[in-house]
């Protein structure tokens, strides 16, 4: 994939972190070996210094013997008195160089202390210097400096550093390759998602991602798939909405135009026929008016611009009034409409007109989609909530259609649109009105066995 910037950024971050860790680890190992060699050299030099000090304090040891022993031990020695004068010198060190003799160190040595330090002579040769006191009758009379060249120590450190550097370079190159593979592996799903989202943005809403991982990338892919499905459904619903609204408007307009033309041209035989045509025109005008009002109300509710006139409403009286209104249509279809109450009825804070609209829409919907059997309406008060239920024995709703029944103009089976009538806006309005008044609506249904709508409002302190 070209221009994989994500992989480059991810790889750069990983390799920089690895490089910092590698450098820190290398410096730590180098420091560890340096400290080890330095400590070992200090110990050896102090032991030699102690041995030379014992020899110098012995009456049987001559200066020549000390020089011979110093050459054999491959060190240089300087015996310095309290006036900083060199009494004895031996070894490869330049005898004219006295810079390592510092008054502060000499005072400490004559006070009985041992000093250790690194010293570089003018020629560039480095020495590890150990200074110890020489006693005569328990009094420190002079200082003995033992100087060991650090050449072997530096050679040993260099021998260690070389494979260490080569190992570091090898590890870095290996990490570089592994980082590239990891960056490609981690970034490829993101690039696939990017391409998929671009396709979705371009209108290819059927695009889906096939990622089965259970990590965050898998969740993101699933979210993109859900978004694409929602957008596709929204597009299809919008197209269906325009088709439905066009159909719903065209039908009454066609009737109005056709029958008004009949009346204008007096294409009727009797006054009875004329009145029939006028009644049709009136019914279709009312139908058109109801459709426009429903659309207007729904638009206002979605924008949050609808005003509610809240008051204390006696839901028992209101529900019984609405049930009586719906009884006529249920009797015409041979349906049994039953109403029951449970608990102590109290008033609730609500918009009476809108609550009536909610109950009436649900009852008319139940009557419309029930061919035989009964419709049960119940009102229940508990200590914490008010529950309104409408349950029918009608055609039911398939399980996969339930999430969409509250959408505008949505019909479970499009072939039934004309058979059962309705604008397809009733349930959308019901859901909006319930939510605007702080309630919840729930629907359970099985195809061919009926549908149950439950509306719950949390009880407030009532009068």
**What is the tens place of the pLDDT at every residue in 19-71?**
888 888 888 888 888 888 888 888 888 888 888 888 877 766 666 777 777 77
CATH number (3.40.50.970, 3.30.420.40, 1.10.287.130, 3.20.20.150) of 216-302 reads 1.10.287.130
Of the spans 113-122, 183-192, 303-312, 371-380, which averages the highest pLDDT? 371-380
Strand 76-81 relative to strand 86-90, pairing: antiparallel
Name the more confident of 2 and 381.
381
**Distance (Å, rounded) from C-alpha 434 to C-alpha 354?**
9
Long-range contacts of 266-275 (CB under 8 A, 24+ apart): none
- Selected residue with higher pLDDT from 9 and 226: 226
Q: What are the CA-CA distances from residue 8 to residues 13, 159, 189 (Å)?
A: 9, 37, 15
Q: What percent of the chain has pLDDT over 70?
A: 91
Over the stretch 369-400, which tens digit does the pLDDT of each residue have? 888 888 999 999 887 788 999 999 888 888 88
Burial class (CB in 10 A: 0-12, 13-18, 19+), 254: exposed
Average pLDDT, the chain: 81
420 has pLDDT over 60: no
Could you count the other beta carbons within 10 Å of the beta carbon of residue 444? 14
The structural architecture, per CATH, of the domain 310-458 is 2-Layer Sandwich (3.30)
> What are 135's strand-pairing partners?
140
Tokens of 79: 């015996």
Mean pLDDT of 169-176: 84
Query: Which is more confidently placed, 261 or 74?
Result: 261
* Angstrom distance (rounded) from CA 419 to CA 410: 15
| pLDDT at residue 135 in the model | 86
Architecture label for domain 5-155: 2-Layer Sandwich (3.30)
pLDDT of residue 413: 54
pTM for this structure? 0.47
Q: How confident is the model at residue 428 (pLDDT cuts 50, 70, 90)?
A: confident
And the tokens for 169? Answer: 């370079």
Asked if pLDDT for residue 352 goes beyond 60, the answer is: yes
The single residue listed with the structure tokens 């671009």 is 198
Q: Is residue 332 over pLDDT 90?
A: no
Most confidently predicted of 65-74, 296-305, 336-345:
336-345
Question: Locate tokens 């419309």: which residue?
Answer: 368
Start-to-end C-alpha separation, the chain: 70
SS (H, E, C) the chain: CCCCHHHHHHHHHHHHHHHHHHHHHHHHHHHHHHHHHHHHHHHHHHHHHHHHHHHHHCCCCCHHHHHHHHHHCCCEEEEEECCCCEEEEECCCCCCCCCCCCHHHHHHHHCCCCEEEEEECCCCCEEEEEEEEEEECCEEEEEEEEEEECHHHHHHHHHHHHHHHHHHHHHHHHHHHHHHHHHHHHHHHHHHHHHHHHHHHCCCCCCCCCCCCCCHHHHHHHHHHHHHHHHHHHHHHHHHHHHHHHHHHHHHHHHHHHHHHHHHCCCCCCHHHHHHHHHHHHHHHHHHHHHHHHHHHHHHHHCCCCCCCEEEECHHHHHHHHHHHHHHHHHHCCCEEEEEEECCCCCEEEEHHHHHHHHHHHHHHHHHCCCCCEEEEEEEECCCEEEEEEEECCCCCCHHHHHHCCCCCCCCCHHHHHHHCCCCCHHHHHHHHHHHCCCEEEEEEECCCEEEEEEEEECCCCC
Q: Which residues, other chains included, contact 151 with Cβ-Cβ below 8 Å and sequence gap of 6+?
A: 125, 126
**Identical fold, 5-155 and 216-302:** no
User: Between these two residues, 355 and 462, which has the higher pLDDT value?
Assistant: 355
CA gap 416, 18 in Å, rounded: 67
Compute how many other C-beta atoms are within 10 angstroms of the C-beta atom of residue 370. Answer: 21
Residue 455 has pLDDT above 90, yes or no: yes
Q: 351: closest CA among 411, 242, 432?
A: 432
SS (H, E, C) 15-28: HHHHHHHHHHHHHH
What is residue 418's predicted lDDT score, i.e. its pLDDT?
Answer: 46
pLDDT at residue 378 in the model: 92
- Scan for tokens 């006295």, then name that residue: 98
Q: What is the share, in percent, of the chain residues with pLDDT greater than 90? A: 6
Report how far residue 342's alpha carbon sits from residue 381's, in angstroms, rounded to the nearest whole number.
6
- Locate the domains of the chain by residue range: 5-155, 216-302, 310-458
- The span from the CA of 120 to the CA of 132, in Å, is 19
């Amino acid at each position: 994939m070209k221009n994989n910037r994500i992989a480059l950024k991810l790889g750069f971050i990983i390799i920089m972190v690895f490089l910092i860790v590698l450098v820190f680890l290398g410096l730590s190992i180098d420091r560890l070996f340096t400290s080890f060699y330095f400590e070992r050299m200090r110990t050896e030099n102090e032991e030699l210094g102690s041995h030379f000090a014992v020899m110098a304090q012995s009456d049987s040891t001559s200066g020549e013997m000390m020089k011979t022993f110093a050459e054999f031990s491959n060190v240089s020695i300087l015996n310095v008195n309290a006036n900083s004068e060199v009494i004895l010198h031996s070894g490869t060190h330049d005898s004219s160089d006295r810079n390592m003799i510092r008054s502060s160190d000499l005072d400490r040595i004559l006070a009985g202390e041992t000093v250790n330090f690194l010293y570089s002579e003018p020629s560039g040769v480095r020495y590890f210097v150990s200074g110890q006191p020489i006693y005569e009758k328990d009094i420190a009379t002079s200082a003995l400096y033992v100087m060991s060249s650090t050449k072997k120590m530096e050679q040993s450190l260099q021998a260690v550093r070389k494979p260490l550097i080569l190992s570091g370079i090898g590890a870095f190159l290996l990490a570089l390759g592994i980082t590239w593979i990891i960056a490609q592996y981690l970034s490829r799903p993101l690039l696939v998602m990017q391409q998929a989202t671009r396709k979705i943005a371009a209108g290819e809403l059927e695009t889906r991602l096939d990622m089965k991982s259970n990590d965050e990338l898998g969740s993101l892919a699933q979210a993109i798939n859900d978004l694409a499905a929602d957008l596709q459904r929204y597009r299809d619903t919008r197209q269906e909405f325009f088709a439905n609204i066009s159909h719903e408007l065209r039908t009454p307009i066609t009737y109005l135009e056709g029958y008004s033309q009949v009346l204008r041209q007096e294409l009727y035989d009797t006054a009875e026929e004329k009145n029939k045509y006028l009644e049709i025109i009136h019914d279709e005008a009312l139908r058109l008016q109801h459709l426009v009002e429903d659309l207007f109300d729904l638009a206002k509710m979605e924008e949050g611009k609808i005003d509610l006139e809240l008051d204390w409403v006696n839901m028992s009286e209101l529900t019984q009034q609405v049930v009586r209104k719906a009884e006529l249509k249920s009797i015409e279809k041979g349906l049994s409409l039953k109403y029951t109450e449970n608990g102590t009825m109290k008033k609730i804070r609500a918009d009476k007109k809108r609550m009536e609209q909610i109950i009436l829409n649900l009852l008319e919907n139940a009557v419309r989609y029930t061919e035989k059997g009964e419709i049960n309406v119940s009102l229940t008060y508990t200590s914490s909530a008010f529950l309104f239920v409408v349950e029918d024995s009608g055609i039911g709703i398939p399980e996969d259609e339930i999430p969409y029944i509250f959408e505008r103009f949505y019909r479970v089976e499009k072939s039934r649109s004309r058979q059962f009538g309705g604008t397809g806006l009733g349930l959308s309005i019901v859901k909006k009105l319930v939510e605007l008044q702080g309630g919840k609506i729930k629907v359970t249904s099985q195809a061919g066995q009926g549908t149950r709508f439950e509306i719950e409002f949390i009880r407030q302190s009532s009068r």
